[in-house]
Structure 1
Amino acid sequence: MTTTPPDDETRLRQTAAFVREQDTAALLPLLLPGLDGPELWALAAHCRLAHAALLVFPPDQPTLHAQLAACGMAFDTPPIPSVVVRDRLARRHHHDPAELDVRILRPAVLGPGRETREVEVFALTVPPGSPLTRIAAHERTHQHEAHLALEVEHPDPLVLRGLCALLARHDATPDGGGYNPHEDATVLYFTTPADAKAAHRRLELHVRGEHPDILATHLARHHAHQPAETLLHLLTGAWTTQALAVCARLGLADALNPRTATTTATLARHTGTHPDTLDTLLHYLAMLDVVTPDGDGFRLTDLGALLRTDTPDSMRALALMYGGPFYQSFAALEHTVRTGEAAFDHLFGENHFDHFARDPELADLFDRSMAASSRMFEPVPAHPAVTAAGRSPAPRTVVDIAGGNGELLGRILTAHPHLHGVLLERPHVVEAARLALDAAGCGDRCTYRCGDFADVPAGADLYLLSRVLHDWDDARCREILRHCARAMPAHADLLIVERVLPVDASTSLATAWDLHMRCNTGGRERRADHYARLLADAGLELLDRTPLPLGATLLHARRATLPSPTRPPVPTPATTMAARPA
C-alpha cells in the first residue's frame, strides 16, 4: 500500500524541531561525508545553519497562520514572492508561472545556542477544488523543495568561489539557483552526495546581495552536469502525448476508481488489452501522476480524472485531438519551419477547418476539445466591462463572435440575468450551441445568427472574440477587428481571450501554442503590443489586460477616442469564418 505523506502542519512541526536541535559543525559531515579537519572548520567558519525549508499548500492564509502559531512559530514580516521556487514548480509541472503565486515566510526559531534561525516556509495557496491540487499532492509526496540553507556570513567573491569549489570536491553537484530582488539575496542550490547521512538531499548557500558572476558560473555548472539527461527527457515528450492519448482511447480513466485500487488483470479484461503491456503503460502513467500504484493495482489521481468522460471539466477530447490529427501534423513541423506554411495543410491537402467540417465525428471531437479549456473563462463574467453591462438598468446586449458552443456566452448570461446574448457562428455549430445554452437555462435570452465575420451585429454593448484571432494571420485579424469596430457603438466594449506571448524568454504556455498554431492552422500567438497595433489599425484602443487560467489573457478594447489619420479604410471583401472551428 502507498504511504500517505504527512500533512502540512506535521511537516511544519518536524522542520521546526530539526532547526532548533541541529549544530552546524555536527551537521556538515552528515551532508558531505568525508568532510573533516581543516575543510570542515573552514566551511563552518564561513557558514552557519540559517534555516530548513519546506513547501506547503494551505487552503488560505489564515489557515497557514494558525498552523504556524500551533507549531510555536511567530513572524512579524509580510510574505514576499518566491521567484526561484515559482519557476522550478512551473518547469516541473509544465504550468504557467503567472498562476503560481508562491510566497515566502520566515518564522524565527532558536537554535541550541539560543542563536536565531528560521524555518523557510514556501506557501502556495490551494483552495479546495483548485486545479493546483494535483501539484500539491505531487509535491507533498516528493518534497522537491525541502532543503537546508547555510548562510554565508561574509560574502566576499573569493570566499564564495572557494566554498563552491569545496562543495564540488565533496561531490555536491549544482542544482539551480537565482537572485531574488524582493529580498536582495542570491541562492545557490546543490544536491548532496548519494551517501549523505542527512535526510535533506538539497543544500542551499544563501548569500546577501546580488552576485551575477558567481551565479552565472554556478548555473553553467548545473546545466553541464545534466545536458544528456535533460535532452533525453525532452526527446521522450512524444511518448507522454501518446501514453495520455491511449489512456483516453482505452477508457482507462473511466475504468479506474480514485478511492479503491483496480488490478491490471481486471483492467485488461475491461479494455481488451494485453495485461503485461498494459501494466507497463500504467507504470508509465504513474510516473506522470495520472494513476498511483496501490497494492496489487492502481488508483486514479486527480490529474487522471481529467481524462474521464463523465466529469464536467473533462480534457479527454483534448488528449484524443493532440494524440490524433494534431500529433500527425506536428510530425511535419519541419515543413512549417522551412516554408512558413501550415504542416496540417501540407499533410492532409486542405486546412484543418475544412478537413474537420467534412468529417462530423472529427468536427465534434474538435469542438469538445476546445470546450475542454473553458475553465479559462471563469473570471470573465466578473470583468468590470461585463459587470457594468450586467448592472445597467437599461437592456444590454452581448455578442459572441464565432462563439463556438456558447460556453463563454453562457457563463456571462448565467452570471448576469438581465443581459441578452447574440451568438454568431456557422449553421451546424449554432444548433449545438442552442442545445447547450438551453441546457444552461439561458437559451431564452439568446439570439442565434448564422454568418461570417462580415455579419457582426451592430449596436450591441459588449462584443466577445474568444480564441479567434490566433487562428489567422495579421491581415485577416485586421479585417476581423475592422468588422467589429464598424459594428461597435462608441460606448461598446470588446473583450478578446487569447494566449499572449511573454516579452522575454520566460516559461509560457503561449510560446508552445505559438508553434502549435503555426503548424496546424497557419495562425499564431502574439505579444500584447502586437495586439495593440492590430487594434489600432482597426480604430480600436487596447485599454488593459487581465490574466486568466490556463495561461490565457483577457484583452479589453474600445473604439479609439480620436480617429487615426493613417488608418486604412474598411475593406469590402468579407473575411469568412465559414470554416472557423468552435
Structure 2
Amino acid sequence: MTATIAPALAPEDLDRLTMVTALIRTNDTESVIAKAMPQLDAADRAALTRYTRFTHAAVLVFPNTFKGLRQELTRLGLQVGTMFPSVVVRQRLSTRYGVPLPDLTVGILRARMTDRLGSPCELEIFAMVTPPELAHIAADERRHGRENHFALAVPHADPVLLAGLRTAVSTRMLPDGGGYNGHEDNTVLYFRDAHHPAPAYRRLELISAGRYPALLATHQRESAAGTRLLRLMTGAWATQAITTAVELNLPDHLVTISDLPGLAAATDADQDSLGRLLRYLTTLGLVRASEDGHALTDLGTLLRSDVDGSLRPLALMYGGPFYESFAALTDAVRTGEESYAKVFGQHHFTHMAADPELAEMFHQSMAASNAVFADLVRVVDFTDMQIVVDVAGGNGALLSRVLGANPNVRGVLLERPHALAAAESTLAPVADRCSLVPGDFTECIPATGDAYLLSRILHDWDDTQCQGILRNLAAAMPDHAELMVIERLLPADADTDSLAVPWDIHMLCNVGGRERTESHYRELLAAAGFELTTTVPLALDTYVLRARKAVTGREFTGRE
C-alpha cells in the first residue's frame, strides 16, 4: 500500500498560486508597468517599456516541507525547474521579523509560462519552509503580500542605464530594498506603491544580470524610511550650513583658494571645524573635492557675491530672520497668524523697513531670483509698449531688466521712499528712461502705463487685501493697458512637486499671505474686473499671469 504524502501547501497558498498564474497570462510589459505605476502617462510608459521586459511575477508561499512540493506544483500544471537558494528575500524576511538567517530556509522555483502576448515569462515561487514556530510569518505575509511583485528585466543593463531606470521608477514608487544574488549573478531593486501599505502586486522589481554595488548601496539607503525622514528633519542643518558658508564668504574665497589651511586663514575659522563644514557642503552638492583640496560646484557658484543671479542674499535671509521666525511655525498653524510679528514684534515689512541693513538684505533677496526676470523679457514682447509701471518693484531689478532689453520703453517704479533710495543704483544704467515715484499700491497709482507689473506682491496678502490692490489697479489703469502678475502657482494636483508648496508655508509663517492656484488668481482677478488671458511659465516654478480689464457690457464669469 502506497503511503500518502501530506500536502506541502496550505489551501490559501494554492489559491494565491492560481491567482498569480492568471495575472501572468493576462498581462504584458506595458500593462504591468501601468498596474504598478498608474500615474505614468502614455509617453513615459512607452519609454520604460522600451528598456525593460516583463520577465516574471512572484509569490511567496509557505510549505511545511520541501518534500512533495514539486509534485504538488505539477498537479497545478506548474512544471518547475531546479530550486535555487534565495538570498534577497531570505534577508528581507530575517530583517522584517527579527529571525536569525540560519533559522530561515527559503528557496526559489520557477515555472515557464507565457504572458498575454505570448512572450516567454515565468512564475517565480519563493518557498519558505514554515515549522509551527514560524507560522506567524506565514500569516502576516499572506495578509500583506510584501514579497509579491511584478518583475521587469533590464536586458542590456549597464551602470548608467540601470541608474537612470532606478531614478525614473523611484520618483513614482518608494524604494523597497533589494540585493545581489550570487547564485544567479543578478542584482534586484524593489519598489512599492507609496500609497498602499499592503500593495500586493503594486510592487515592482528591476532585475539585471551582474553586480552593481554602488547603485545597490544607494538604493538600500533610500529604502530605509528612517534615512529619508532623518534627511528631511535635518533640513534646518543644511540651511544653517549654507548660511554659515555665506557669512564666512567661503564661496568667494573658493574661487582663488582651494587648500584647507588657506581657506581657514582667509575665513578666520578653525581649520578642523571648517573641514567638517566643507565635507557637509560636499554632500549637499555645493562643493567638490579637487586636486588641491576643494572647489565650488556649479550649484555652489550661485552663492558667490559677484555672480549674476547670486542667491547669497536669500541664504542670509533664510538662515537669519526667517529662520528665527520659522521656529514659531506651530503657533502660526494653530492660530492662522504669522509668526514673524510675534517673534520680532512687528510685521516683517515694518520690521525690515526700520533697519536699513535688513531692508537692503530684503531687497537684494527679492532681486536674487534674476532667472525669473530674464525669463520675463524672453517670453513677453514689450516692443509695442511705451510705458511700463512696476508696482512695488523693490530695488528696481525687474524693471531694470525690462528697460535694458527694450531700449524704446520708458519705466515707472512705484515704491516707498526707502526702497527708491536703493533702486537708484540698480536703475542707474537706464535712469534717463525711468521715473521713481514714491508711494504704494494703496495710494495713487500712475495712470499712464501700457503695462503694469505686479511681481510677487499678491502672495503677501489675504484675498480681501488682494482684491483691494487689484481694484486700485483697475481704477487707475487705462482701458488698453495690460496687467502682468508674477507669482508661484500651487499645483492643482496635490502630488505634483513645486517650489510653491514650501513657499506657501513660508508665507503663512513669515508674511501672513499665501501662494495660490491659477484658478484662485483667476477668481481674484475677475472679482476686480480683470480677465485672465494667458498664463506663461517662467523659471523657478514662477508664472506670469497676463490679464486685461474685462470688456464692459457683457457678464464676465472669470473663465476663459
1:334-354, Cα deviation, whole Å (9 max, x unpaired) = 010010111101111110111
User: Superposition pairs for residues 324-343 of structure 1, below 5 Å?
Assistant: 324-343=320-339
Q: Assess, with a 3 A threshold, how the Cα gap between structure 1 residues 261 and 104 changes in structure 2: closer, same or farther.
A: farther
Match for 1:537: what amino acid?
A
The alignment's TM-score, normalised by the length of structure 1, stands at 0.62
Partner of 1:494: 483
Cα pair distance change 1:451/1:177, threshold 3 Å: closer
Secondary structure of 2:547's aligned partner: strand
Question: How far apart are residue 273 of structure 1 and its match?
Answer: 1.2
Counterpart of 1:193? 179
Which residue pairs with 2:525 in the alignment?
Answer: 535
Residue 451 and residue 166 in structure 1: after superposition, are their counterparts in 2 closer, same or farther (change >3 A)? closer
Q: String of CA shifts for 1:370-402, please: whole Å, max 9, x gaps.
A: 11112112221244xx52x4136xxx2111100
Secondary structure, aligned partner of 2:453: strand
Partner residue of 1:304? 300
**Is the 8 Å Cα contact of residues 532 and 546 (structure 2) preserved in structure 1?**
yes
Separation in 2 of the partners of 1:199 and 1:249? 51
Question: How many angstroms apart in 1 are the aligned matches of 2:114 and 2:303?
Answer: 51
With over 3 angstroms needed to count, the CA separation of the structure-2 counterparts of 1:504 and 1:299, relative to structure 1, is same
The 3-state SS of whatever aligns with 2:387 is strand
What is the CA distance between 1:214 and its match in structure 2?
5.9
Q: Provide the secondary structure at the position in 2 that maps to 1:314.
A: coil
Note the alpha carbon deviations across 1:319-346, whole angstroms, 9 max, x for none. Answer: 1110010000001100100101111011
Could you say what secondary structure the match of 1:489 adopts?
coil
Partner amino acid, structure 1, of 2:287:
V
**Separation in 1, partners of 2:276, 2:45:** 37
Partner of 1:365: 361
Per-residue displacement from partner, 1:68-92 (whole Å, max 9, x unpaired)?
A: xxxxxxxxxxx985489xxxxxxxx
**Compared with structure 1, are the counterparts of its residues 224 and 326 closer, same or farther at alpha carbon in structure 2 (3 Å cutoff)?**
closer
Pairwise CA distance, 1:230: 1.3
Q: Taking structure 1 as reference, are residues 179 and 245 closer, same or farther at Cα in structure 2, changes over 3 Å only? A: closer
Alpha-carbon distance in 2 for matches of 1:234, 1:107: 32
| SS of match in other structure, 1:410 | helix
Does 2:470 align with 1:470? Answer: no
Match of 2:264? 268
Q: Alpha-carbon deviation of 1:266?
A: 1.6
**Among 233, 236, 239, the residue aligned to 1:235:** 233
Task: Supply the AA of the counterpart residue of 1:270.
Answer: A
Give the match for residue 452 of structure 1. Answer: 440
Structure 1 contact 470–523 (Cα < 8 Å) conserved: yes
Listed as ranges, the matches of 1:26-175 within 5 Å are 82=44, 154=115, 165=148
Separation (CA, whole Å) in 2 of partners of 1:187 and 1:521: 35
Could you give the per-residue CA deviations for residues 477-502 of structure 1, whole angstroms, max 9, x where no partner exists?
00100011111222211001000101
| Amino acid paired to 1:193 | G
Deviations 1:249-274 (A, max 9, x none): 011111113xx872222211111111
Deviations along 1:445-471, whole A, 9 cap, x unmatched? Answer: 111110111211113211110000011
Q: Is the 8 A contact 2:395 2:420 kept in 1?
A: yes
Residue 357 of structure 2 aligns with an amino acid whose one-letter code is: E
Cα distance in 1 for partners of 2:184, 2:412 equals: 64
8 Å contact from structure 2 (residues 322, 510) kept in 1: yes
Would the aligned equivalents of 1:367 and 1:404 in 2 still touch at CA under 8 Å?
yes
Question: Given that residues 177 and 223 in structure 2 are in contact (C-alpha distance below 8 angstroms), is that contact kept between their aligned partners in structure 1?
Answer: no
2:395 is aligned to 405
C-alpha separation in 1, matches of 2:324 and 2:315: 13
Q: Distance between the aligned counterparts of 2:548 and 2:452, measured in 1? A: 10
Q: Which moved more, 1:548-557 or 1:425-434?
A: 425-434
Q: Is it true that 1:560 corresponds to 2:546 in the alignment?
A: no
**Correspondence for 2:140:** none
Match of 1:248 in 2: 246
SS at match of 1:535: helix
Could you list the per-position Cα deviations for residues 90-144 of structure 1 after superposition, in whole angstroms to 9, with x for gaps in the alignment? xxxxxxxxxxxxx889699xxxxxxxxxxxxxxxxxxxxxxxxxxxxxxxxxxxx
Taking the aligned partners of 2:532 and 2:185, their CA distance within structure 1 comes to 53
- 1:430 and 2:426 aligned: no
- Whether 1:290 and 2:278 are equivalent positions in the alignment is no
- Measured in 2, the distance between the counterparts of 1:512 and 1:106 equals 36
Cα 1:486/1:562, change in 2 over 3 Å: same
Residues 1:491 and 1:179: Cα distance change in structure 2 (over 3 Å): farther
Segments of 4+ moved more than 2 angstroms = 45-50, 79-84, 103-108, 158-168, 174-180, 186-192, 194-205, 212-219, 221-226, 562-567
The alignment's C-alpha RMSD in Å is: 4.1
User: Can you give the 5+ residue segments of structure 2 that lack an aligned partner in the other structure?
Assistant: 1-20, 31-40, 53-112, 127-146, 152-164, 192-197, 206-218
Q: Between the two proteins, what is the percent identity of the paired residues?
A: 43
Question: 1:131 aligns to what?
Answer: none
1:548 corresponds to which of 538, 541, 544: 538
- How far residue 226 of structure 1 moved from its aligned partner, in angstroms, is 2.3
Amino acid at match of 1:228: G
Paired letter, 2:398:
L
CA drift at 1:216: 3.6
> In the comparison of the two structures, how many residue pairs are matched?
407
Distance in 2 of aligned mates of 1:318 and 1:381: 23
CA distance 1:398–1:500, shift in 2 (3 Å): same
Change (3 A) 1:457 1:342: same
- Give the number of the structure whose alpha-carbon radius of gyration is greater: 2
